Amino acid sequence: MARRLEAPGPDWAEPAAPQHTHAVTLATLLGALVAFLFLALCTNAAQAQGADVPPALPSPSPWAAPAARALVASDRTPLRAAPREGAGVHAELTQGDLLEVRGQRLDHLHVYDHRRERAGFVRAEAVRRLPPAAATPSTVHSTSSSSPFSLPSSSPSSSRAAPAGAAEAQELLSLLRFLRHAPGQEALGIAYAAAYLQAASAERIDAEPFDALGVMAERLGRRASRGRPGDATSAQVEAVAAYGVRFATLEREGRMQLCYDGEAFRRVLALKPTSAEQARAILALTRHDCVDPQLPPTARIALDAWRADLLDLPWPRGYNDLPQLTKNRLHLRRAGLWAARAHQQARQGRPAQAAAERAIAELAAVNKGEFTDDDQPEYAEAAIRVGAARWAAVGQDALARASAVGLRLVNVTGSEPGQTCVQLLAAESAPPGRRAQGPHLLAERCTFGTVWMPSLAMRPGGDALVLAVQPLEGWTELWLFRAESAVAPEAAAGAVVAEGTARTAGVAAVATRERMPWRIDVLPPAPSAPGLGYIEFAGWAPGPQPRLLVARESRIDGRFHRRFEVLALDTLDAVKQASSPQLLSAFEQFSDAQWRRRTVALR
């Protein structure tokens, strides 16, 4: 009987799959074995043909040797996407930027900018290559914005690269010496200073490279403070920040000012500098315009004490070797600083006469014949600072003169902390047979500034007096106390008529004096916000219309102004004014002798 065959189903096809898999695996193993035997035979044949040939060395890693580095030589150097002039621009490089050179194509270098994290091509003539040792990083930084040319760390654990040859280091130093005297090349000069500090051995590094670095950084800060639209100075400031050069941004008279933090100059003072290097470092670290105006009083006092100690450092290399111009600059800096310290000591209730006398002596030691045009503003600023605080060096003889006419000026503590109130008192007159009731308050005014009581000056008639008050460092105002008899009679009569009284002008003046016998007016050094300036009493001019002589000196918008004025005592309007007292006859005839002897306005 014939058997019927059924169509194969799934149960019949499954056992064949394992047999096919084993066959494939066996074929793969046999192929691998044949290939291994073939390679072994080839290797043996090669060794038999050239047994004395050494095996080839592995290709070196690109990080095994120090990469070539280059510095950008000019501002706005394009970093292009291809080695041709028409290629797209990835970024604009600034002078002093450090680039890693990875190759050359045609007349362009293939570079990588680590600060911007951009690769591209620059023209070979737009960069300056560095020696290999100067291009070796000295330390490893954790941030990509840091540069391998950071200043040497004071930590003993920091590593340094192998020193370059003496010729290479000397070449970098020669370039640094040239660039320190090239205005506009500060960023490139700072980059070369960092390269020299990286390449030279520790034994060869002295104060000179740090002095050059500090000079260029300070000059760059001054240029950035006077920056104009479209100027590349701000880009240079960002470029040198990669080398550890930092600037502080301050606001002065409505303008932003950049000041170098002075790290390089501090290192100069620690490396046995020459007299000229020490003087430059001290002058850079004690600048008045680089003191933060937002410092708390205690921090400002500590800073000024440190600056005073810095200016009084000994001179191991000889102070007499300095040129007279440098000595003048040191005298001016000491004069302004000790004037500030006199004001601070007076605010603290400490004796300030020695500090004020030191400031006056330093200003007097200046040789006015040894000045450049750039030093004239510094001289004017120092004179203003001394003139604002010079009353701290004067005695109390003026108070005795005021007491002789029956007036007394006293200081009392105000209602708020740090406040001082000035009271003008007069002895109360009593009829015969009655006892006086004590002193009578004529006028009072309060301030948070320093009241210089020795500045009191009384008019011979006893109806007016002036007093110097210093609310801020370098800013002294003049308080004018006037009896109503010193005011124009029509002004006093008009005030009474406005109240509805019907009296004669003489009776009205008497009534006004009884109600408000004295008034106080404040005369500022300049019609501007308090900054730098002083106004001082210069004399009384007699006559039917009494006059007040004053001298003003101030700095407004960076310009210095000095003028001498004759003011009407009733209205305080300037009747006459001039830039020199010799041009005013009232100053020639009636100026106060004590003012002529002590003022700095006649320097």
Q: Quote the CA–CA distance of 309 and 289 in Å, as a whole number.
A: 18
pLDDT of amino acid 25:
64
> 144 — alpha (psi -120 to 50), left (phi > 0) or beta?
alpha
Check residues 22 and 331 and name the one with the higher pLDDT. 331
Give 310-333 pLDDT, tens digit per residue. Answer: 999 999 888 988 999 999 999 999
What DSSP character marks residue 530?
Answer: S
Q: Catalogue the E-assigned strands of 35-142.
A: 68-72, 77-80, 89-93, 98-105, 108-113, 118-123, 127-129
CA distance 379 to 325: 12
Is a pLDDT exceeding 80 seen at residue 496?
no
Q: What is the pTM of this model?
A: 0.77
Beta-strand runs (E) in 231-371: 247-252, 255-260
* Contacts with 319 (C-beta within 8 Å, 6 or more apart), sequence order: 275, 327
Nearest to 391 by CA among 462, 305, 457: 457
Lowest mean pLDDT, pick from 6-15, 54-63, 355-364, 477-486: 54-63
Element containing residue 332 per DSSP (H, E): helix 324-347
| Residue (of 573, 540, 537, 571) closest to 552 by Cα position | 537
User: Buried (b) or exposed (e) across 319-334, using 16+ Cβ within 10 A?
Assistant: eeebeeebbbbbbbbb
- pLDDT, tens digit, for every residue of 83-137? 999 899 999 999 999 999 999 998 999 999 999 999 999 999 999 999 876 654 4
For residue 43, with 0-12 CB atoms within 10 Å meaning exposed, 13-18 middle and 19 or more buried, which class applies? Answer: exposed
Across the beta sheet with 407-413, what order do the strands follow? Answer: 407-413, 420-427, 439-447
Q: What is the pLDDT of residue 441?
A: 87
Please state the separation of Cα 366 from the chain's center in Å: 25
Coil vs helix vs strand at 282: helix
Question: Mean of the per-residue pLDDT values for the chain?
Answer: 81
Q: Sorting pLDDT into bands at 50, 70 and 90, what band is 67?
A: confident
What residue type is 483 in one-letter code? Answer: A
Q: Once rounded to an integer, what is the mean pLDDT over residues 140-155?
A: 39
State the pLDDT at residue 364.
95
For 241-260, letters b (16+ CB in 10 Å) and e give ebbbbebeebeeeeeebbbb
pLDDT at 127: 95
Average pLDDT over every residue of 257-276:
94
Give the dihedral sign, CA 292/295/298/299: negative
pLDDT computed for residue 11 by the predictor? 42
Report the half-sphere exposure of 426 (CA within 13 A, side-chain side). Answer: 12
Residues sharing a CB contact under 8 Å with residue 227, sequence separation 6 or more, in sequence order = 233, 234
3-state secondary structure of 287: coil
Structure tokens at 514: 């009884």
Q: Which residue has the higher pLDDT, 540 or 503?
A: 540
| Domains along the chain with CATH numbers | 66-129 (2.30.30.40), 130-152+161-286 (no CATH), 291-393 (no CATH), 395-429+436-522 (no CATH), 524-603 (no CATH)
